[in-house]
Amino acid sequence: MTTDPFALPEDTGRKTRVLTFTNGSAGSGKTTAAAALGYAAASRGKKVCILGMDKQRDVSRLLGYDDPDGDEELPTLYDVIDDVCTLDEAVVPARNSKTGEPIKNLWVVLESKKLESLEYKLAGQTARELWLFRLLPQLRGRFDIVGVDCPGDVKLATIGALIAGDEIVGCTKSQEKEARGLTELEDKITEVHAAYGHIGMRDGIDWVVIGDGVTNNSQGKVYADIENQVREAYGDLVVKPTVRDDVKVPEAYTAGQPVTLYNAKCDAAVAYTKIGRQMKLYR
């Protein structure tokens, strides 16, 4: 048995929760939530892997790898799809971008700019929507949590994650574009579930996370109304609290760190920590 705390965890048969962070719109806070909750869980002893699927490579950056494509020695998700390596071989330790040190209990599958050609790359595969479903068994049993950070659309990458995941986390903001993105996501879930529900795909959103919310009505009644509409539409699926507008979130992004690592005591970090507890990711 390995004694290296940063080596890929062995398959012990542990129950793995695969969380798909998604929305039909870009800029909905998916990456911020995936990184923040991933670090919060890891810091509480859970073994966590974040799988990045966006050509923008933002979650890779937040977990210590500013430019995965710039280092030929670093495996990426695209290398897995291109049969250069297996998915478990592509898992690397997350790093604190400030110190360069590995982060205990947190790993990442890095993104690549080449992911923009995913649909072309998989064009010849039978049932290509199952691409991630076929890969994820390599991670199940090794981690307590696998978080899949989807791109800001509902194309093949996201469809694959919807089919493969155990729980769908709809991320949104108190703004119309992102709220409408949840509706688009629901429509796609219904459509894809009709074809793949028999293999266990979820038939709806399991959690809704509202990020970057207004602090009070004086900041904009329209935004407050949208948040209230989201809560009315999704009821108990909306986790509490709303992550309110916090300057520490963009600061954390600039620093290349999850906000829960960057400043654990700031309002956004405290909110994400409470959300993770409500989702029963940790106690």
Residue 68 preceded by cis peptide, ω within 30:
no
> Residue 214: what pLDDT?
63
Q: What is the CA radius of gyration of the chain?
A: 18
Q: Give the tokens for residue 223.
A: 């935004």
* Burial letters 98-118, b for 16+ CB under 10 A, else e: eeeebbebbbbbbbbebbeeb
The model's pLDDT over 43-79, given as tens digits with 9 standing for 90+, comes to 999 999 999 999 999 999 999 999 999 999 999 999 9
Confidence of residue 138 (pLDDT cuts 50, 70, 90): very high
Q: Compute the distance between CA of residue 64 and CA of residue 60 in angstroms, rounded to an integer.
A: 6
- The mean per-residue pLDDT over the stretch 210-228 comes to 74
Confidence of residue 2 (pLDDT cuts 50, 70, 90): low
CB 170 within 8 A of CB 72: no
Q: Compute the distance between CA of residue 146 and CA of residue 17 in angstroms, rounded to an integer.
A: 6
The model's pLDDT over 123-133, given as tens digits with 9 standing for 90+, comes to 999 999 999 99
Q: What is the pTM of this model?
A: 0.95
SS3 sequence of the chain: CCCCCCCCCCCCCCCCEEEEEECCCCCCCHHHHHHHHHHHHHCCCCCEEEEECCCCCHHHHHCCCCCHHHCCCCCCHHHHHCCCCCCHHHEEEEECCCCCCEEEEEEEECCCHHHHHHHHHCCCCCCHHHHHHHHHHHCCCCCCEEEEECCCCCCHHHHHHHHHCCEEEEEEECCHHHHHHHHHHHHHHHHHHHHHHHHCCCCCCCEEEEECECCCHHHCHHHHHHHHHHHHHHHHHECCCCCECCCHHHHHHHHCCCHHHHCCCCHHHHHHHHHHHHCCCCC
The model's pLDDT over 254-279, given as tens digits with 9 standing for 90+, comes to 999 999 999 999 999 999 999 999 99
CB 105 within 8 A of CB 42: yes
Q: How many CB atoms lie within 10 A of CB 192?
A: 20
CB 57 within 8 A of CB 68: yes
For β-strands 167-173 and 17-22, DSSP reports them as: parallel
Residues paired with residue 228 on neighbouring β-strands, in sequence order: none
Q: Give the tokens for residue 13.
A: 């048969």
> Residue 27: what pLDDT?
87
| pLDDT at position 94 over 90 | yes
Share of residues in the chain with pLDDT > 90 (%): 88
Confidence of residue 222 (pLDDT cuts 50, 70, 90): confident
| pLDDT at position 229 over 70 | yes
- The mean per-residue pLDDT over the stretch 240-247 comes to 92
Q: Give the tokens for residue 240.
A: 């509490």
**Dihedral through CA 65, CA 70, CA 73, CA 74, nearest 10?**
30
Q: Which amino acid is at 204?
A: G
Q: How many CB atoms lie within 10 A of CB 32?
A: 28
- The mean per-residue pLDDT over the stretch 194-212 comes to 96
